[in-house]
Structure 1
Amino acid sequence: MKDNPIIVGLDIGTTKITTVIGEVGDDGSVDIIGEGTVPSEGMKRGAVVNLERATGAIRQSVQAAERVSGVRVASVFVSVAGNHVKAITSHGLAAIRRHQEISQADVDRAIENARAVPLDPNLEIIHTLPQEYVVDGQEGIKSAVGMHGVRLEVDVHIVAGTAGPLLNLRRCVQEAGLKVEGFVLQALASGLATLEAAEQSQTVVVIDMGGGTTDVGVFKRGNLAHSACIPIGGDHVTADLAQILKLPHEEAENVKRRYGAAVPELADPDLTLEITTANGSTHAISAFELSRIIKPRLTEIFGMVRDEIDQALGPVELVAQGVVLTGGASSLRGIPELARDRFRLPVRVGRPRGIGGLTDIVSGPAHAGGVGLVLYGIGQDGKVPVSVFRPEEPATPPPAPQPQPAAKASSEAKKEAGAVTVATPAPSQPAPKKDKESGNLLTKVRGFFKDWM
């Protein structure tokens, strides 16, 4: 094996834990040589709630990646998300002596002055991310070193987390036999993995839709300028389905992924599901009605994201030029269309790019955070490495799963855990209509959903 630098990202989420191992080539290119994903344990909305179970899940994820790569992992970059993370933008100033060039020491002094803001003593700074510099009133300067001027200014985006949750997360990683190389904000990692070259000159909103949280990052000309965490994610959509359809959580998740859509009009009009609950009762629901349950929660998430940006930066349509959706929950059919209607901006689903190696495994939006942690580890400056913009063939996204008729379960199994059976109308019969007044099988269950919707 080549003796190239190895960087490991550990993406710890509410629903899954993913380890991504990257090897950095001599030209700065990154090959993914190992990946391990396991169900998350002991985590809730970005925070540790059970140290032992979280440690065990972390260990399993890392071991799975080690088996694929043949590399022994010693240290990792760890993702951080949740309501305990706070972010502010602070202004720093440094005076420069006349007839002298601006040095790196002067830049560091300006950044340090920006850091000197009163913070809660219980907060630990995770990132200090400089934005563009201003020299004697001239804005838009990417690097001020070597320039002449007497007044150097900089805006710095400071990200901090509450000490307790960070200590718990660090302890889990250490007890798994690993060293924490650094904590990385989830929204920053996702942006590093998904932003395209053209978007580096724009203002783009990156929305990482995870299971327990939705992380938001506003990138201005390639720099993270604003960040926030919304305490609702894809798992809440699953919980809604489980509650309303009276299904086990795992079955509701399967129904959501295979048959759900964020926009009812995009659901399969010919698909009807027969839901058998744990107590043995049965009712029918069309894919259209299923999506009507899903849409309100996703609309709520996008509404909260929009409110956050509108209050902090101004109307999102005037602030940004586009929206990038990523994270596991962004794979649901109709998500881009719903977001486009809510934000009134161009929307696309962001997938990791600029990498080699196991691209077929890590090419989906669910791996954006893990790949972004590896990219962050290259420079540790919060900026996308230039090497990832090398010319390459566009990755072909994995095909979307097609609805398949579920196998008919025995009546005993249905009564024990609940079941879903797919029924499609015969060719000679009309497809179930979406009109509320239609007399199809859904009339029996409309009253069940009326109050909720």
Structure 2
Amino acid sequence: MKDSPIIVGLDIGTTKITTVIGEVSDNGTVDIIGEGSVPSEGMKRGAVVNLERATHAIRQSVAAAERVSGVRVGSVYVTVAGNHAKAITSHGLAAIRRNQEINAGDVDRAIENARAVPLDPNLEIIHTLPQEYVVDGQEGIKSPVGMHGVRLEVDVHIVAGTAGPLLNLRRCVQEAGLRVEGFVLHSLASGLATLEAAEQAQTVIVVDMGGGTTDVGVFKRGNLAHSASIPIGGEHVTADLAQILKIPMEEAEDVKRRYGAALPELADQDVTLEITTASGSTHAITAFELSRIIKPRLSEIFSLIRDEIDHTLGPVELVAQGIVLTGGAAQLRGTPDLARDRFRLPVRVGQPRGIGGLTDIVSGPAHAASVGLVLYGIGEDGKVPASVFTEAPQPAAPVPPAVPVPDAAAGTGVAPVVVSPPPPAPAPKKDGVSLVDRLRNMFKDWM
């Protein structure tokens, strides 16, 4: 951990930029003390397309978090979307002198040998993530230090980003007056924040459904073993609605969030919307018909994820024991049900765990990556006292109020006939496992 107990995560997405400020409190818990979310500008599919506008949005997000926390931000951890990141798994070997114990230097040699693979000069290594070690043919070893053997092997998952997009991200952050403490793969941050203790012993697929991309991380016994990115996200669902209903993107996003569902059978059968197009014409559409527009695009996303995993690792049903959905697009009603149908595996929506402070603000799946950045920053150097990682109590999620009925005359262009309030959000689960186990499992071999 750095000298300061303050760690800041900056999640720069296609539709939203979020800053989360975390603090290691005196009583040993990780408290979220600041949060600032603003609409994203100058970004497309996780890459900078307008430096000035992206920098302006970053400043706004950080300033909002600073106002809440009363803390001045100097450095940040920044997410990197997988669409301009490349990942390979490389094998490393180190010989050990006979009758000598394996030490940290031997482990470093094995990892460095794994890193010595030819990479495109246009790539910059972001992560070097050791998987399990093998000592003299014995597999499944998490930490070989202190063991005896003559041959140490390790498979390392190397994540590298394209230099151009990384330089543009770094420049935007620096122009906003901040220092980049480190880049973190989006799916890695999301998995770190949401994986439960029982999932540390399994193979779990984390699917982060963002606005412009869907990032995928396959975690095997707590280690990121495979990563990929699908260039489609929730914004594409919104674009489908805007195109078919002939309404602006802002109104289409509002309609999707209020009345949409991933499965038509889960849509409110009593809701009919009156849509006013840009030309002034009016037509009606039911929530059931609305969801029939939404389902194909989400099905496409899940099918592409399945194809990626099937092709790279094997049939998804044999590779993984479960799916964890995170990201803003995962909040759409029925999305876990559709994913369950497509993957034929248990599916749950992942929420940030093991934190205190502003949990009512950052407890949803949309904040998984930004909270994960804070946890990454805490655990990166492996020197945090164990008391820091005591699981913070998880408050029950409040019951949301009834959805207000928009006024068509107010210019929204959408007038519902009947509105049913959404069901209350489930309270986060408790498993009684300290956060130290999760962070230590992920970081003790990484650095």
Q: Same fold (TM over 0.5)?
A: yes
The answer for the alignment partner of 2:231 in structure 1 is 231
The answer for the alignment partner of 2:95 in structure 1 is 95
1:424 maps to 2:418: yes
The answer for the alignment partner of 2:366 in structure 1 is 366
The answer for the alignment partner of 1:428 in structure 2 is none
1:126 maps to 2:120: no
Give the 5 Å matches for 1:39-58.
39-58=39-58
The one-letter amino acid paired with 1:420 is: V
Give the 5 Å matches for 1:166-315.
166-315=166-315
Gaps in structure 2 of 5+ consecutive residues: 420-447
Deviations for 1:244-303, whole angstroms, at most 9, x for unmatched residues? Answer: 000110000000000000000000011100111011111111000000000000000000
2: CA distance, partners of 1:204 / 1:387: 27
The one-letter amino acid paired with 2:283 is: H
Instruction: Give the match's secondary structure for 2:133.
Output: strand
The answer on whether the counterparts of 1:375 and 1:385 sit within 8 Å (CA) in structure 2 is no
Instruction: Give the match's secondary structure for 1:153.
Output: strand
Gaps in structure 1 of 5+ consecutive residues: 426-453
The answer for the alignment partner of 1:117 in structure 2 is 117
2: CA distance, partners of 1:128 / 1:226: 12
Give the 5 Å matches for 1:329-368.
329-368=329-368
The answer on whether the counterparts of 2:82 and 2:227 sit within 8 Å (CA) in structure 1 is no
> After alignment, is 25-34 or 181-190 more displaced?
25-34
Give 1:24 shift. 1.5
The answer on whether the counterparts of 1:258 and 1:401 sit within 8 Å (CA) in structure 2 is no
The one-letter amino acid paired with 1:424 is: V
> After alignment, is 280-289 or 3-12 more displaced?
3-12
The answer on whether the counterparts of 2:82 and 2:185 sit within 8 Å (CA) in structure 1 is no
1:7 maps to 2:1: no
The RMSD of aligned alpha carbons is 2.0
2: CA distance, partners of 1:375 / 1:324: 18
The answer on whether the counterparts of 1:45 and 1:82 sit within 8 Å (CA) in structure 2 is no
Deviations for 1:12-36, whole angstroms, at most 9, x for unmatched residues? Answer: 0000000000002467531001111
1:379 maps to 2:376: no
2: CA distance, partners of 1:344 / 1:12: 32
The answer for the alignment partner of 1:65 in structure 2 is 65
The answer on whether the counterparts of 1:210 and 1:327 sit within 8 Å (CA) in structure 2 is yes
The answer on whether the counterparts of 2:273 and 2:284 sit within 8 Å (CA) in structure 1 is yes
Deviations for 1:332-391, whole angstroms, at most 9, x for unmatched residues? Answer: 000010000000000000000100011011001110010000000012279x99778745
> After alignment, is 26-35 or 320-329 more displaced?
26-35
The answer for the alignment partner of 2:324 in structure 1 is 324
2: CA distance, partners of 1:178 / 1:311: 40
Identity %: 82
Seen in structure 2, the aligned counterparts of structure 1 residues 317 and 27 have a Cα distance that, compared at 3 Å, is farther
2: CA distance, partners of 1:306 / 1:395: 34
The answer on whether the counterparts of 2:217 and 2:225 sit within 8 Å (CA) in structure 1 is yes
Instruction: Give the match's secondary structure for 1:191.
Output: helix
The answer for the alignment partner of 1:34 in structure 2 is 34
Seen in structure 2, the aligned counterparts of structure 1 residues 237 and 50 have a Cα distance that, compared at 3 Å, is same
Deviations for 1:139-193, whole angstroms, at most 9, x for unmatched residues? Answer: 1111011110000000100000000000000000001000000000000000000
Seen in structure 2, the aligned counterparts of structure 1 residues 28 and 231 have a Cα distance that, compared at 3 Å, is farther
TM-score in terms of structure 2 length: 0.90
1: CA distance, partners of 2:54 / 2:402: 33
The one-letter amino acid paired with 2:417 is: A
2: CA distance, partners of 1:134 / 1:291: 50
The answer on whether the counterparts of 1:258 and 1:402 sit within 8 Å (CA) in structure 2 is no
Seen in structure 2, the aligned counterparts of structure 1 residues 234 and 40 have a Cα distance that, compared at 3 Å, is same
Give 1:392 shift. 4.7
Deviations for 1:32-68, whole angstroms, at most 9, x for unmatched residues? Answer: 0111111100000010000000001001111111111
The one-letter amino acid paired with 2:86 is: K
Give 1:84 shift. 1.4
The answer on whether the counterparts of 1:214 and 1:230 sit within 8 Å (CA) in structure 2 is yes
2: CA distance, partners of 1:403 / 1:345: 32
2: CA distance, partners of 1:387 / 1:185: 27
Q: Any runs of at least 4 consecutive aligned residues in structure 1 with deviations exceeding 3 A, and if so which?
A: 25-28, 384-395, 397-404
Number of equivalenced pairs: 417
The answer on whether the counterparts of 1:10 and 1:20 sit within 8 Å (CA) in structure 2 is yes
Which one has a bigger Cα radius of gyration?
Answer: 1
> After alignment, is 28-37 or 150-159 more displaced?
28-37
The answer on whether the counterparts of 2:354 and 2:393 sit within 8 Å (CA) in structure 1 is no
